[in-house]
Structure 1
Amino acid sequence: MSLSQKLAARAEAGNPVRVGVIGAGKFGSMFLSQGPRTPGLHVAGIADLDPERARQAVARIGWPAERSSARSLAEAMRTGATFITEDAAALTAGDGIDVIVEATGNPGVGIRHALHAFAHGKHVVMVNVEADALAGPLLARRAAEAGVLYSFAYGDQPALIAELVDWARTAGFHVVCAGKGTKYLPVYHASTPDTVWRHYGFSEEQVAGGDFNPQMFNSFLDGTKSALEMAAVANACGLDPAPDGLAFPPCGVDDLPGVLRPREDGGILSRSGTVEVVSSLERDGRPVFRDLRWGVYVTFEAPSDYVRRCFAEYGLKTDSTGRYSAMYKPYHLIGLELGLSVASVVVRGEPTGTTRGFSGDVVATAKRDLSAGERLDGEGGHTVYGRLMPAADSLRAGGLPIGLAHDLVLTRPVAAGRPVSWDDVAFDPDRPAIRFRREMEALFRGEAGG
């Protein structure tokens, strides 16, 4: 049966998939808007540091008041309503919850929630790509040890890219490159929360009239979010980042096969089997023709002359040789599609993408010349952005992951464009997120014989 049929059967049997959601921000709200419309799926609990914000969120997306009126998780289980709480630990430990959706966006908090969920036998759908890029390889091992699943969030780009990679490999194709589109110019790496709206073209009136977080929006613009997502894809799909990180070539959908192929064949890739993000802007700021700003792609290679002829016979766009082609999805629907992960994890026992190794890492990189004594302000801030690196290079250099580059003080200067290392900052090794990340680094360094 299909996923929807399996869910419908559970609904008829009175045994819906019971979900706990942590974080009622934009992604969480988009999922919550669709949850009640999906037979066989019951959002039993929502945890948010500000329960009133969560109540306002569900009211804004159209929930009737009685849907979120449960006074306890047990009551929610009996009545089919939803319990809203500030206690995420109680939700992850709650009897009857099948799967936890972690949608906070805070990497340290995400690690804590995931480990607590594993300890209580709960599957985790990790919306929090910041947590996955920071420690996903070790989180995935902890989930396996606990006998539960750790999954990417369908609707977010890493899960959709992993799906395309799986499609290509299952069909017998070699994956040359996989990734997504975004709006990018080199100057954006230096963008700060003070300049972000100018780059987006938002007026003061637009910003004042909406719920806009400048640091969050800036993390998308300065390249950090793209680096985090491509690290997640690399670690899930066994792909390797280029030695110099992401190049963000301007490229429309028709040019994917020609641009995203190895250099020896006329493309821009240093090697086959990598990840890359394409820009919707030419370097002079002009829009790319038929851009892929909101979408995802995979490029793959014909293994024989026969398959190359098939590409031509069935109208595939290829490079000039006919050897390389691409498949892409032009849009992603964020939390509106998240139910596919929830259903797949529980009724099929399959994640929609999951971390399997440690081939990509995202290292904090100075946006300007930084001085000793300066305090780093993390993802999307004024001081650093995240650069994708091969994990082996990051481990050798002692790179400071962007997910921990918040509220740490520099002990020595770092020049603009240079990665920040653990040796450049003062840190508390007993802080839980730092301790977990350092454990992961030691584990993979040991397995690599370093």
Structure 2
Amino acid sequence: MNLSALLRQRFDAGRPVRVALIGAGKFGSMFLAQVPTIAGLEVAMIVDLNPDRAREACRTVGWDEARIASMRFSTDGTEACTADDVEVVIEATGNPEAGIKHALAAIEAGKHIVMVNVEADVLAGPLLAEKARERGIVYSMAYGDQPALVSEMVDWARAAGFTVAAAGKGTKYLPAYHAVTPDGVWTHYGLTPEQAKAAGMNPQMFNSFLDGTKSAIEMAAIANACDLDVPEDGLLFPPCGVDDLAHILRPRAIGGQLGHDGMVEVVSSLERDGRPVFRDLRWGVYVVLKAPNDYAAACFKQYGLPTDSTGRYAAMYKPFHLIGLELSISVLSAALRGEPTGSCRTWRGDAVAVAKRNLKAGESLDGEGGYTVYGRLAPAARSKAQRMLPIGIAHGVRLTRDVAAGSVVTEDDVDLDPNRLAVRIRREMCDRYSGRDDQAAPHVQR
């Protein structure tokens, strides 16, 4: 709770925290909007494939022309990772391959890295985080994004002596969404294609939020950062409002919907018939706590926590997340405290590619949010044993045989280039990690 005071000391000493931002999309733009009001935090460089678009993003968020004119813009992310005047690198491209490349460059250069790029983190995070720790630098989730917020809540719960029964987020979900393609995405957001285009909204990216891919990726990231289990056959997406979190997200043996304590799950803001859930958590995050004793359970009730019928399970939640508007918390935590706001510690969950329709040999996959596959959460050990294809490398790869709709695509179904960076790093990670429980970072209880 002293980041602002620590930053003030740096500001007074004339040593601002200097950052390079790679990727000036929505997340990056929201971060840029806050920078002028944070004394002691400066952006040294902005990297984007289209520098003119990045300049326009700066104008959109309120930067004056003098600030824009003094900014260094580049198209080379590696340049940002190796610049002498950069202390922290923010990777916000959303491209798994680019994210791995930039993370490795930043680690090699001894720069702290904040990975907005959850796609890259889930593809190879255990290995990237290990390489960063070996170099004595911070590899961090991005505060404001849901995985970092959930990781904070889990850490708080464990530090307070509670068992974490469940943790996750809310989203808008129906089973039919798994088959939605970019052509049909905007009706689900209440927009016309023309309105979305005018707003600069990417249909494939927004479709990944809808078809379950983003949820799979984010829950894998949380499982890997918090040492939590994932459902054997993918997320359940139970309809659930905030008042019922402790009732629904507890073990099936006592009336809930989870296999056991210590799991990730996403709750839906829609009932299965499409009706809205009462007091939904569409934009928020949660943690379900289990009281260690009768006294603590009594305190849950005395202090107003929503509990299940036994009184032993209680829920805490945060109804909103502000993504890039909160990103400075990660940057300052890395630079001033040497601490991540959540970081991959083990390999428990994976996000794998599942066919949206019957796919034919010779077709090319188009990755998350596209026309061919969506991402499903899977246990890491199972993913490795069955050679499931990670969604992060399911883009631009050709099928060598047919895959039926609803089936997981495996590495044996596609023609993978072994020299491709993402493939090489992923395989190096798989060689080092098995997905077993005994690889988790130690803590008191799960």
Q: TM-score, normalised by structure 1?
A: 0.96
Asked if the contact 1:68–1:84 (Cα under 8 Å) also holds between the matched residues in 2, the reply is no
User: How far apart are 1:444 and its partner, in Å?
Assistant: 1.2
Instruction: Mark the CA change 1:394 to 1:206 in structure 2 (over 3 Å): closer, same or farther.
Output: same
**Does 1:197 find its partner at 2:186?**
yes
1:188 aligns with 2:177: yes
Mapped to 1, the partners of 2:131 and 2:323 lie a distance apart of: 26
Q: What's the CA shift string for 1:267-321, capped at 9, x where partnerless?
A: 0001110100000000000000000000000001011111111111111110011
> 2:283 aligns to what?
294
- Give distance in 2, aligned partners of 1:280 and 1:102: 30
Once the two structures are superposed, the pairs formed by residues 317-336 of structure 1 within 5 Å of their partners are 317-336=306-325
1:200 CA displacement = 2.1
- CA offset at residue 3 of structure 1? 0.5
Query: How far, CA to CA, are the matches of 1:276 and 1:28 in structure 2?
Result: 27
Q: How far apart in 2 are the matches of 1:147 and 1:313?
A: 44
State the 1:9 CA deviation.
Answer: 1.5
Asked whether the 8 Å contact 2:381–2:436 carries over to 1, the reply is no
Instruction: Letter of the 2:253 partner, please give it.
Output: E
In structure 1, the residue matched to 2:236 is 247
CA contact (8 A) 1:36 1:43 kept: no
Offset of residue 376 of structure 1: 0.5
- SS where residue 387 of structure 1 aligns? strand
User: Which letter does structure 1 place at the counterpart of 2:14?
Assistant: G
- 1:234 is paired with a residue of what secondary structure? helix
Identify the residue that residue 56 of structure 1 maps to in structure 2. Answer: 56
2:151 paired residue number = 162
Question: 230, 250, 258: which is aligned to 1:269?
Answer: 258
- How does 1:3-402 map onto structure 2 within 5 Å? 3-70=3-70, 82-402=71-391
- Alpha carbons 1:242, 1:271 under 8 Å: kept: no
Change (3 A) 1:205 1:47: closer
Equivalent residue number for residue 392 of structure 2: 403
Native 8 Å contact 1:375 1:410 kept in 2: yes
Alignment-mate amino acid for residue 301 of structure 2: A
Unmatched tracts of structure 1, length 5 or more:
71-81
Residue in 2 that maps onto 1:78: none
Q: Does the C-alpha gap of structure 1 residues 443 and 54 become closer, same or farther in structure 2, counting only changes over 3 Å?
A: same
Q: 1:412 aligns with which of 370, 389, 401?
A: 401
- 1:76 is aligned to none
Are the equivalent residues in 1 in contact too, given 2:204–2:370 (CA < 8 A)? yes
Count, aligned residues: 438
SS across alignment from 2:433: helix
State the Cα distance separating 1:261 from its structure 2 match. 0.3
Q: Which amino acid aligns with 1:27?
A: F
Code of the residue aligned with 2:64 in structure 1: it is: P
Q: CA deviation at 1:205?
A: 4.2
2:404 and 2:119 map into 1 onto residues whose CA distance is: 25
Rounded Cα–Cα distance in structure 2 between residues aligned with 1:31 and 1:321: 43
Does 193-202 or 413-422 show the bigger shift?
A: 193-202
Partner of 2:444: none
Residue 284 of structure 1 aligns to a residue whose secondary structure is coil
Output the amino acid matched with 2:138. Answer: L
CA distance in 1, matches of 2:201, 2:51: 20
SS of aligned partner of 1:151: strand
CA deviations 1:2-46 (Å, max 9, x no partner) are: 111111111111111111100111100100110121011111111
CA-CA distance at 1:445 after TM superposition? 3.3
Q: Could you tell me how far 1:48 is from its partner in structure 2?
A: 1.0
Distance in 2 (alpha carbons) for counterparts of 1:215 and 1:315 = 42
Deviations 1:103-158 (A, max 9, x none): 00000000000100011110000000110011111100111122111000000000
CA RMSD of aligned residues (A): 1.3
Deviation per CA, 1:349-385: give whole Å up to 9, x if none. Answer: 1100000000000110011111111110110000000
Any idea what the Cα deviations from partners look like across 1:370-406, whole Å, max 9, x if unmatched? 1111110110000000000000000011000000000
Contact map agreement 2:21 2:46 (CA 8 A) in 1: yes
Q: Secondary structure at the match of 2:168?
A: strand
Take 1:361 and 1:208, find their aligned partners in 2: how far apart are those partners? 32
SS across alignment from 1:285: coil
**Helix, strand or coil: the match of 1:69?**
helix
Contiguous gaps of at least 5 residues in structure 2: 439-446
Distance 1:61 1:130 in 2: 26
Deviations 1:198-245 (A, max 9, x none): 222212442243111110000000000000000000000000101111
CA distance in structure 1 between the aligned counterparts of 2:141 and 2:197, rounded to whole angstroms: 33
Aligned equivalents of 1:392, 1:414: Cα separation in 2: 22
CA contact (8 A) 2:90 2:116 kept: yes
The structural deviation recorded for 1:195 is 1.1
Deviates more, 1:2-11 or 1:119-128: 2-11
**2:114 partner amino acid:** V
Hey, what's the Cα distance between the residues in 1 that align with 2:355 and 2:209?
Answer: 17
Cα distance change, pair 208–127 in 1 and its aligned pair in 2 (3 A):
closer
Give, in angstroms, the shift of residue 443 of structure 1. 1.3
Give the C-alpha shift of residue 69 in structure 1: 2.1
Q: Aligned letter for 2:46?
A: I
Q: Percent of aligned positions with the same letter in both sequences?
A: 63
More deviation, 49-58/230-239: 49-58
1:338 positional shift: 0.2
